[in-house]
């Protein structure tokens, strides 16, 4: 248990559906991240939020829409996805203290399958 | 960011020490060495990190060479539950504002612990 929870753990959706992934951290961190891990590929950073402000969008298609209402919650809204978007979606959080290395703690992930 | 080189796979007998090497010959003076592991289809788990000195915690030990060009993660008494992909990552400290030390995952080392 890392203090980062994700729901749902598994999700199957059609290409015309709209769904949302939720992440919550109980660690008092100020930064949250979305990563994507496709089969047999390394983790890819998607989005970064620091104090609710998006600080990085790693050229992610607009069918993925993040939302960070506060420092503890992070959402990833999904619409009109493609089968190649099927992957493990991971959330992480950290304290992002200036001048220091900060440790990112990951949630268990949501296994997404797009039919 | 500095690149890392790890063996693709390693085997270890249960109860023995597992020594996982990592080369990072282009590491800069202020970059940290981080180790994570990922058990199949779960989120990455933080293990340990260091800057210049050797580090030890309840999970593992990290030995960094004096020139900082390589490091070794040591699991002192490997168990079957230590079977996972182990990632060695070099990352800079946070620079402040929206600039932070990005965590870039490679392919890692697949460690298999045998009975």
pLDDT, position A87: 96
Across chain A, mean pLDDT equals: 90
The average pLDDT across B50-59 equals 94
Q: Are B100 and A96 in contact (CB under 8 A)?
A: yes
- In this predicted structure, which of A3-17, A18-32, B83-97 has the lowest mean pLDDT? B83-97
Judge: B94–A98 Cβ closer than 8 Å, yes or no. yes
What pLDDT does B18 receive?
Answer: 98
Interface touch B45/A99, C-beta < 8 Å: no
* Whether residue B97 has pLDDT greater than 60: no
Query: What is the predicted pLDDT for the residue at A93?
Result: 93
User: Distance between CA atoms of A91 and A30, rounded to whole angstroms?
Assistant: 13
Gyration radius (Cα) of chain B, Å: 14
The C-alpha of A114 sits at a distance from chain B's nearest C-alpha, in angstroms, of 17
At B28, list the tokens. 């800069």
Buried b (16+ CB within 10 A) or exposed e, B44-77: bebbbbbeeeebeeeebbbbbeeebebbebbbee
């Amino acid at each position: 248990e890392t203090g980062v929870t994700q729901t749902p753990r598994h999700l199957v959706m059609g290409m015309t559906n709209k769904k949302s992934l939720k992440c919550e951290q109980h660690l008092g961190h100020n930064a949250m991240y979305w990563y994507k891990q496709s089969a047999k590929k390394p983790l890819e950073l998607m989005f970064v939020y620091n104090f609710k402000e998006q600080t990085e969008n790693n050229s992610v298609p607009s069918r993925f829409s993040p939302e960070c209402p506060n420092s503890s919650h992070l959402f990833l809204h999904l619409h009109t996805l493609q089968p190649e978007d099927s992957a493990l979606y991971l959330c992480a959080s950290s304290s992002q203290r200036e001048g220091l290395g900060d440790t990112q703690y990951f949630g268990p992930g949501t296994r997404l399958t797009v039919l | 960011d500095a690149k890392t080189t790890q063996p693709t796979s390693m085997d270890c007998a249960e109860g023995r020490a597992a020594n996982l090497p990592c080369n990072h010959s282009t590491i800069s003076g202020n970059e940290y060495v981080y180790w994570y592991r990922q058990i199949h289809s779960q989120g990455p788990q933080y293990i340990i990190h260091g800057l210049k000195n050797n580090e030890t915690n309840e999970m593992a030990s990290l030995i960094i060479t004096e020139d900082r060009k390589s490091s070794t993660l040591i699991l002192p008494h490997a168990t079957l539950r230590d079977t996972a992909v182990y990632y060695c990552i070099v990352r800079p400290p946070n620079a402040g504002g929206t600039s932070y030390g990005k965590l870039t995952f490679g392919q890692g080392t697949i460690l298999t612990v045998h009975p």
